[in-house]
Amino acid sequence: MIAYLGRRIVQSVLILLGISIITFALLYLLPADPVRQIAGRSATPATVESIRRQLGLDQPFLVQYGRYLWNLLQGDLGRSYIQRSEVSQLILARLPATLLLMVGAIVCELLIGLTMGLAAAVRRGSRTDNSLMVASFVGVSAPQFVVGLLLLYIFAVRLGWFPIGGYGTFRHLVLPSLTVGIMGAGWYARMMRSSMVDVLHQDYIRTARAKGLGRLKVLVRHALPNAILPIVAMVGIDIGILMGGIVVVESVFGWPGIGQLVWQAIQRVDIPIIMGVTLVSALAIVLGNLFADLVAPFIDPRIKLR
């Protein structure tokens, strides 16, 4: 177990290193010149070159990357080109909002998705099953931008139940969580259904029923723990998907998370922020996967970590 953990941590560090090189290289190769964004349109070529030197952007790629890595190892993500503040500060200020939205989204996904999947599996082939699966399909396919605006229009503008965007209270959290959650819920519903259908066909379920256990008891005690296993693994992986989806939703709802930060940074070629957010997201994904793997043996003793 310890050896496994050690190996996985080394792997994770290597993955992060790889991501940092690839992202840095991609941003380096970008035809857009960050210095021009900083210098603005009235700057003379001399000013542009002077800023380039100040930032060390006149150096060859390896020198630039080496410097970045050296600072990174000391916990320094650099300063934003446009805002001039420390990237770590900008990210830290926004991280709680993103984490909160993630938790909200995961709760929504699981609540809606698992319930739908369970109901569909139990009544497999029925009209309920069919309509739930169509609904999950719509949930998965609908663009989050549209879902967000739709929810906003119905529940905030028309009905006035929730505030129109913003951040701060529980009521602010509901609609954005739901928007992100609806997509994930569609996936979970489908996963849960197929997983449950599989399990319900197993011999031990028939045995449990045969020995006289009630339908509900079989479902909760015997079927659910086995059916839910792949789902738990998915929550870990889901963190990565959420990281991506949250960018859009944060923009629609004015949610002050890191998705919004990186979206703005991309528009302005603010490379230190793009790098910083990419690395933080990558870290979240790596940790999420690690979590999923570590948790698996607790749920299913057949899985051994080696």
Which residues here bind another protein, judged by CB under 8 A?
30-33, 36-48, 50-51, 53-55, 79, 82-85, 89-90, 93-94, 97, 149, 152-153, 156-157, 164-167, 250-257, 260-261, 264, 267-269
Note whether 143 and 244 are within 8 A (CB).
Answer: no
Phi, psi of 32 (to 5 degrees): -70, 140
Of the candidates 138, 139, 168, 166, which has an alpha carbon nearest to the alpha carbon of residue 152?
Answer: 166
Note whether 268 and 37 are within 8 A (CB).
Answer: yes
In whole angstroms, the minimum distance from the beta carbon of 79 to another protein comes to: 6
Q: Which is nearer to another protein, 117 or 257 (CB)?
A: 257
Q: Which is nearer to another protein, 3 or 46 (CB)?
A: 46
C-alpha to C-alpha distance for 267 and 244, rounded to whole angstroms: 16
Q: Which is nearer to another protein, 2 or 29 (CB)?
A: 29
Q: Which is nearer to another protein, 14 or 30 (CB)?
A: 30
In whole angstroms, the minimum distance from the beta carbon of 100 to another protein comes to: 13
In whole angstroms, the minimum distance from the beta carbon of 291 to another protein comes to: 27
Q: Which is nearer to another protein, 102 or 197 (CB)?
A: 102
Q: 3-class SS at 304?
A: coil
Q: Which is nearer to another protein, 51 or 199 (CB)?
A: 51
In whole angstroms, the minimum distance from the beta carbon of 269 to another protein comes to: 5
In whole angstroms, the minimum distance from the beta carbon of 212 to another protein comes to: 57
Instruction: For residue 236, give every residue at least 6 positions away whose Cβ sits within 8 Å of its Cβ, in sequence order, or none.
Output: 288, 289, 290, 291, 292, 293, 295
In whole angstroms, the minimum distance from the beta carbon of 192 to another protein comes to: 33
Residue type, 241: I
Instruction: For residue 163, give every residue at least 6 positions away whose Cβ sits within 8 Å of its Cβ, in sequence order, or none.
Output: 156, 169, 171, 172
In whole angstroms, the minimum distance from the beta carbon of 131 to another protein comes to: 32
Note whether 57 and 272 are within 8 A (CB).
Answer: no
Beta-bridge mates of residue 79? 86
Q: Which is nearer to another protein, 38 or 72 (CB)?
A: 38
C-alpha to C-alpha distance for 63 and 67, rounded to whole angstroms: 6
Note whether 188 and 109 are within 8 A (CB).
Answer: yes
Helix or strand holding residue 157 (H, E)? none
